[in-house]
Structure 1
Amino acid sequence: MFKIENPKPAQWSEILKRPTKTVEDIEATVNEIFHEVQTKGDAAISKYTSLFDGVALEDFEVSAQEIEAAKNLISEELKEAIQLAKENITKFHAAQKTEKVSISTQEGIDCWQEKKAIQKVGLYIPGGSAPLFSTILMLAVPATIAGCEEIVLCTPPNREGKVNPAILYTANLCGVTKILKVGGIQAIAGFTFGTETIPQVYKIFGPGNQFVTVAKQLSTKYGVAIDMPAGPSELLVFADETAEPSFVASDLLSQAEHGADSQVILVTTSKAFLTKVETEIENQLSVLPRKEIATKAIENSKLIFVEDDKTALQLINTYGPEHFIISCKNEDFYVNGIHNAGSVFIGKYTPESAGDYASGTNHTLPTNGYAKQYSGVNLDSFMKSMTFQKINETGIKTIGKAIELMAEAEGLQAHKNAVTLRLKSLN
């Protein structure tokens, strides 16, 4: 990890740069695959599944027999853990339901807002080096609570053409209506255009590598919404000398093991603490099964010392981390002052892993600085607000003249006439 002391604000954008490729680097590949899927459907899906996943499949859809078999391939202990997580995620997201908003803005004018579920949603679940069945909980649970009619899941198959049984078990448990063995750019293209097997959806959810992230962004050109540009995972920890170095090191490594393009950052006001964390990272890294991946991520990561809390907070808000851990004596200063973060973890006994799995909050979060303008996935992500209005005779008389004047001032005579005719009919 790079050690940096007291960087000047003018240097922040450079030292906080994410280790990701730009859209331009990847866009040509994505466009090529999108075009093939749009014009050739399942034939293109087969081609790219063979090319990228190393398996030729005659049928992409997971069968009922495969789902049933998966139940016997995972332990009862894991099933119980998944159930506990599902219960907490359900509680937290069900609590986000809101009632219809209704008001009479003036006598005879009733306006109200209702939320409706997005009917067709596509969930993308990475399944390569780490089969993220936990992401199914984060997406399918709120989709089900919202009332989405079609919940379609795409995940890449292994070289035997199979899907991890924990993914199948969790998807079935959480109400997914269709599971497909399709990954990468071709899955996002399938969701975007629809094929003989993959239904076209209205909104795409889920994290992925840089290629999936760019594919999701480009899908919006074709009228499909996305949750957010969620790319490689990242974590920033602020900790001072009161924190536990081994805990902080474990949190940094927990994100580093996601992928070689992940990024983790420690910001601290203690040089001695920084050194202790650096030593702990070396010790813990040496015994990790995913050591090679974590090592590459650590190479993209930073240990940053600053003199005071005010500077630290400004730097953190400039970065806008996906995950932000606070472990310090001046906890409230950071809790109250953070504006740009996907999800915040407070205190030495709150690891980021808790939010990844079972505390109840959602782990599908904005990365690459998008926490400055995007929210993480929540119940409203699966819904849209619709407004209604009903105006009676009294109401149109009350606001009719104002509408006529405003329409005329904008030069929109037909708008004015729509009111004038109604007012004349009442005289």
Structure 2
Amino acid sequence: MLTLKDLRGTAVDALTLAQDAELLPRAGTDITATADKVTPILDEVRSRGVPALMDFAERFDGVRPESLRVPAEAMAQATERLDPQIREALETSIARAREVHTAQLPAASVIAPGPDAKVTNRWVPMARVGLYVPGGQAVYPSSVVMNVVPAQVAGVQSLAIASPPQNEFGGWPHPTILAAAHLLGVDEVYAAGGAQAVGMFAYGARDEAGELACPPVSFITGPGNIFVATAKRAVQGVVGIDAEAGPTEIMVLADETAPANLVAADLISQAEHDELAAAVLVTPSEELARTVIDQVQHQAATTKHTERVRASLTGSQSAVLVVDDLDAAVAVANAYGAEHLEVMTGDDDAVAERITDAGAIFLGHYSPVSLGDYCAGSNHILPTGGAARYSSGLNVTAFMRSQQVVQYGREGLGLVSSQVRRLADEEGLPAHGDAVDARFG
């Protein structure tokens, strides 16, 4: 099922890996291929508003909701009917996420570069954000938690959630998603999915009477399929976006001390997300590699989504990589920049210190990625496709902006006025210098 690639004897330094993409397994997703389909959808939503959203719901989701916004009674009812054990699990997830994300809040600072001079660095929350929650092959109330909690901790006052309408539930999003939003205190939820939901957030949506049914947002977050990713790229600039999320990924960096059955279970856990999900093991132990392949074959046969898992694990994006030593394994992990990186070695802490590029790192036998998906307290909305090399997972600062407040007095300005004059003249902008000189007669 999983293909073994022997990289022993191959240079696996960062330069070689960067130049030879064939050495590392990757999903071949190209969101530009869907641009022609997404652009007309966005144009329709921008020009026609709610009627277009309703038409797209009927066309893509097979149901026409009674209204675009989910009524309060439907959300309350979903919460009342929620399985008590699911509610307890959600409340645990919310509490732990809130604790972890609160620790991310950046502190303001006040600096005095000189006498009578002050610059304040402060963080300001965004006014309104749109949070997308998928509704395709699985139900994702956890994504409600991961989107909402950091935004609330950041201080965002206006939060809106969009999730696809479900025929099975009368045209509303899945009731567990509604209940999760209700438990978090979010009452603005829209029955809209796909590229059309992204368009609604970016441009706003008016009803047939011209009333604004959904005001536009400043920032859109949340994972989705390739159409959602394409739409987010298209509206970037009109609004901010968190990332263009691609198929999920797991890389396990392990040596001969790792339990093969646990490594296999964790690879399968991510493979069940999507046929395009990437599951990669990198190890210096050929014995572990072959045992994991056998374990994957065995465990995949009894899992619920066997065919989906098989498609993922036999795709070009999944593989078992055997390398010369642990140094080579670390080099591969950093070059790959996995969304989720598990480390199972004889010295996990030492290996983790050497990891520079990963969305989130999970150390040891008792920190599976699925823990991070739900109840670790960390965020599971993470960079994919190697984007971990230059971007972060969703966090509190994603919903905030850094602002600088400059306050100089006469003495403070006077001390640097001649320097401003010289630099302004050097750049050919004498009026800049004149603006300073005017303050001293």
Look up the match of 2:210.
Answer: none
CA distance, structure 2, for counterparts of residue 365 and residue 153 of structure 1: 19
| 2:136 partner SS | coil
Aligned counterparts of 2:246 and 2:197: Cα–Cα separation in 1:
16
Contact persistence 1:313–1:338 (CA under 8 A): yes
The answer on whether the counterparts of 2:65 and 2:165 sit within 8 Å (CA) in structure 1 is: no
Q: Residue 238 of structure 1 corresponds to which residue in structure 2?
A: 253
Deviations 1:89-115 (A, max 9, x none): 111011112321101110011100111
Matches within 5 A, 1:115-264: 115-160=123-168, 161-196=171-206, 197-221=213-237, 223-264=238-279
CA distance in 1, matches of 2:105, 2:64: 43
Kindly tell me: are residues 17 and 302 of structure 1, through their superposed partners in 2, closer, same or farther at Cα, counting changes over 3 Å? closer
Gapped runs of 5+ residues in structure 1? none
Tell me the matched-pair count: 423
SS in 2 for 1:303: strand
TM-score, normalising length: structure 2: 0.93
Residues 229 and 370 in structure 1, CA contact (< 8 A), matched pair in contact too = no
* Superposition deviation, residue 260 in structure 1: 1.0
Cα pair 1:264 1:298 within 8 Å, conserved = yes
Q: Which amino acid aligns with 1:84?
A: T
Give how far 1:355 is off.
Answer: 0.7
Q: What is the alpha-carbon distance in structure 1 between the residues aligned to residue 301 and residue 173 of structure 2?
A: 30
Contact conserved, 2:68 with 2:192, CA < 8 A, in 1? yes
Where 2:51 maps in the other structure, the secondary structure is helix
Q: Hey, what does 1:277 align to over in structure 2?
A: 292
Select the residue among 404, 413, 425 that pairs with 1:396: 413
Alignment partners' CA distance in 2, 1:396 and 1:238: 56
DSSP 3-state at the match of 1:384: strand
Q: Look up the equivalent residue of 1:25 and give its one-letter code.
A: A
**What's the offset of the Cα at 1:376?**
0.5
Is the contact between residue 108 and residue 394 of structure 1 (CA under 8 Å) also seen in structure 2?
Answer: yes
| Structure 1 residue ranges, 4+ long, deviating more than 6 angstroms after superposition | none
Letter in 1 for 2:3: F
Cα distance in structure 1, aligned partners of 2:222 and 2:174: 17
Paired letter, 2:184: C
Q: 1:215 & 1:373 partners in 2: Cα distance?
A: 21
Alignment check: 8 A CA contact 2:349 2:363 kept? no
1:117 is displaced (CA, Å) by: 0.6
Q: Residues 293-304 of structure 1: matches in 2 within 5 Å?
A: 293-300=308-315, 301-304=318-321
State percent identity of aligned pairs. 33
Give, in whole Å, the separation in 2 of the partners of 1:421 and 1:373: 44
SS at match of 1:387: strand
Cα deviation for residue 17 of structure 1 reads: 4.3
1:353 correspondence with 2:370: yes
* Aligned residues of 1:151 and 1:175 also touching (Cα < 8 A): no
Residue 97 of structure 2 corresponds to residue 80 of structure 1: no
The answer (yes or no) to whether the contact 2:79–2:182 under 8 Å persists in 1 is no
Q: C-alpha separation between the residues in 2 aligned to 1:78 and 1:341? A: 30
Contact 1:204 1:225 in 2 (8 A): yes
SS of 1:265's partner is strand
**Which residue identity is paired with 1:344?**
I
- The alpha carbon displacement at 1:177 in A equals 3.8
User: CA offsets, 1:204-247, max 9 Å, x none?
Assistant: 000111221121122114x2101122221100001122111111
**Deviation of residue 305 (structure 1)?**
0.7
Q: How large is the RMSD of aligned CA atoms in angstroms?
A: 1.4
* 2:55 counterpart of 1:55: no
Equivalent pair of 1:236/1:266 in contact (CA under 8 Å): yes
Matches within 5 A, 1:262-411: 262-300=277-315, 301-411=318-428
d(CA) in 2 for partners of 1:241, 1:392: 65
Helix, strand or coil: the match of 2:313?
helix
Structure 2 letter corresponding to 1:175:
G
How far apart are the structure 1 equivalents of 2:284 and 2:272? Answer: 26
